Amino acid sequence: MKPGLISNSLAHLSLGDMLDNAARLGLHAVELVVGGTGPVPHVDRQNLLDDPRSRADLLRSLATRGLTLVALNAMGNPLHPQERHQGDDLVDAIRLAGLLGVETVITASGLPAGNPSDTTPNWITNSWTVERQRILRYQWEDVLLPFWTGISALARENGVREVSLTLGANQSVHNVPTLLQLREAVGPTIGANLDTSQQFLMGADPIRVAAALGDTLQHVHAKDVLLNPPVRDVGSIIDTGDLADMDERAWSFVTPGYGHDRGWWARFFYQLALQGYDGPMVVDHQDLVLAPLDALRKSAALLRHHLPAGPQADVTTQAHAAPGL
């Protein structure tokens, strides 16, 4: 597995300084943010699309530091009923990936409105009423499936092997069943980006999620969540409070190792190795307490210590969870 980082983990640095620090930390993989809902501080996507020299310069900047560009990231809501630019960002990211020879694009499934006249996304988390069933049918049959059928075709046309969807809250595709439902409908180009933090905050077990995903798992984000049982046990894991008010929240984003101990991470990495995953293990800094470089230094140390380093040929045919997991 290749330890790496999402470029926006060091959004405050220039492109060169971000890459220098990634190399200095002993990381090997870079997932470059080129669009979506967040800032794009390191590259000019349109310039890269238009100028072959800019693309060559970018790839050279990575190669001279011993880094590999493993994915482009356009995380957002490409199905937002009003902010259509997020879908355009994904299209551009796929085209740019093809030009750069990058086979993986990271995004999310998106979340449509509840009906054609609605103006805001609507996340349905249960199907108790006829109204909610009607919303789900509209979202999947009228919006999600047509969009992702087209995106899958676009990816194939541009030589992009994987469009990896982050399974997370506020997305139509947020867990294993919904990922498999979409993949069955539109084809194997669509797979999963397993963001461990998103599974934690929804109450799932990332180790079991990884095992259930099997060969649909294309990419992994190593991110942690600190659970706060006294708050969770009273108010549930659903929390809309201020992210900065960690004492009053059911869960908070933290650096790997601060929410779940090193033993948990060792078991998680072992499960991935057992099922044959040998792709990127990318850190995304979202800790509100630790400074970005300090957090990445601690994350890199955890990855170096616990990521399996040996051949995996003897275990790749085993698809079941490791004993005791």
pLDDT at 38 over 90: no
> What pLDDT score does 84 carry?
87
Q: Which fold has domain 2-306?
A: TIM Barrel (3.20.20)
Quote the distance between the C-alpha of residue 97 and its chain's center: 16
Q: Please provide the size of the chain in residues.
A: 325
> What pLDDT score does 212 carry?
98
Which amino acid appears at position 280 of this protein?
A: P
Give the integer Cα–Cα distance in Å for 289 and 256. Answer: 13
As a whole number, mean pLDDT of residues 83-88 equals 92
Q: Kindly indicate the confidence band of residue 323, based on its pLDDT and cuts at 50, 70 and 90.
A: very low
* Sequence spans of domains, the chain: 2-306
Tell me which long-range contacts 225-234 makes (C-beta under 8 A, separation of at least 24): 225/196, 225/197, 225/200, 225/201, 225/251, 225/252, 225/253, 225/254, 225/259, 225/260, 226/251, 226/252, 226/253, 226/254, 226/258, 226/259, 227/200, 227/251, 227/259, 228/252
Mean pLDDT, the chain, as a whole number? Answer: 94
Q: Please, are residues 223 and 197 in contact by the beta-carbon 8 Å criterion?
A: yes
The overall pTM is greater than 0.85: yes
| Residue environment code for 297-307, b if the CB has 16+ CB neighbours within 10 A, otherwise e | bbbbebbeebb
As a whole number, mean pLDDT of residues 199-214 equals 97
